[in-house]
Structure 1
Amino acid sequence: NKMEALADNGNGNYAYIDTILEARKVLVEEMGGTLLTIAKDVKLQVEFNPAKVKGYRLVGYENRMLNDEDFDDDTKDAGEMGAGHRVTALYEIIPADSAAEVGSTDLKYQQSQVVESDEWLNIKIRYKDPDQDQSKLLSLAVDSSQESHITSESFDFASGVAEFGMLLRDSQFIGNGSYENIYGRIVGLSSAKTDPYKAEFLSLVEMLME
């Protein structure tokens, strides 16, 4: 994608506008965040507790992955965040008590040790202020008190969009995913009736169901 490459190299943004609705989204609703950068070289690192999770996979972001050692390296370029922008990262996980098998690597000089903890994962965010070259670090542990078996409408929609992308790419990880599953998950959301962008997405799903 040449537009993406240009935007990445110039620390900019790009958009594909094909409808009035998309033009309003890009040029009106999101323009403030596009023009006003509040953080640069933003990096996200998630570490799962092996006592809770024995396997995981980040869904998407294949062209945004960094090596582990690059997280603390301030010379490595990363993404910019504008005012009001949000980032969603979805992980597919295998719980530690699952019967599913996960491949492992035998280490000669290192031994892994599971630390007993009620925490599920630790999130670290590193970023720079727009006018600074030294990054700042934020860290947050997520424990069982924040666990919920009830998903929000935003999560349901995001998971549907992710599944949609995996189907389009014929992903090897799609499992029993289908356009019918996506439609059934999203059509009942109250916001699907009031949000024009979600309604537009549903119409795309319906087209591919036919």
Structure 2
Amino acid sequence: MAGIGLASAYAGLRYGLPTLSERLHGLRFEPLDQPAGFRRLISNGGTSNGSFDPFIALAPTADRVRPSCRGLFEDAAPPGIVPAAYFSDYNCAYCRALGPRLEALQGVHVTLHELPLLGEGSTILARAALAANLQEAYWPFHRALMSTPRPSPEAIIPVALDLGLNPDRLRADMDAPEVAAALARSEALAALFGIYATPALVVGRTLVIGAVAAATLDRLTDQELADGPVPTCA
């Protein structure tokens, strides 16, 4: 209970107080070195990824990965809709809160990228979710895992059965080339943008690393619409 209380207090200080500050001050940005035309949200006097946060997953170095922008946004967003890329890990506590917030956000089309940073268990869960996509059940499977307390690989088959999926096919598809390609794509995108933690977002042309308040997401979406078409990610 003490640990839960400490985490709740920390979350209030880390993400509650900045919400009031963000309402009083305009959004600020700094350009990214790469890709050209993209930027990083600056928050509370520092960049959104400028300080260590013990509740956010830290990534291993990805020197072996060739940075690439391929697949950042899965589809071209229609006029008036902001594309957003969301990088998530099933064992990331703040990803559980941010995911539903993004789905409820008006005027945003979300492309979800599996970026398992918290060890082998996270990687297995990510592979299972991408395998579920081959049975056209990616989003239901993703939501089910995110709503499972402390998800582990042991949850994969019960979730698959609950959703009416073929568990034998799911197991086999976890090693499918399409699953490996999807994970490699997300890792290459993370290398390009310098994403070292989850949750992370690219909202339009703006990188945000770490949890973000709903009020900030609303304002950022409005700003992206006002700034016009998103640059080509190359």
Settle same-fold status: TM greater than 0.5.
Answer: no
TM-score (norm 2): 0.22
Higher relative contact order (CA 8 A, sep 6+): 2
TM-score (norm 1): 0.24
As a proportion of its length, which structure holds more helix?
2
Q: Name which one, 1 or 2, has greater alpha-carbon Rg.
A: 1
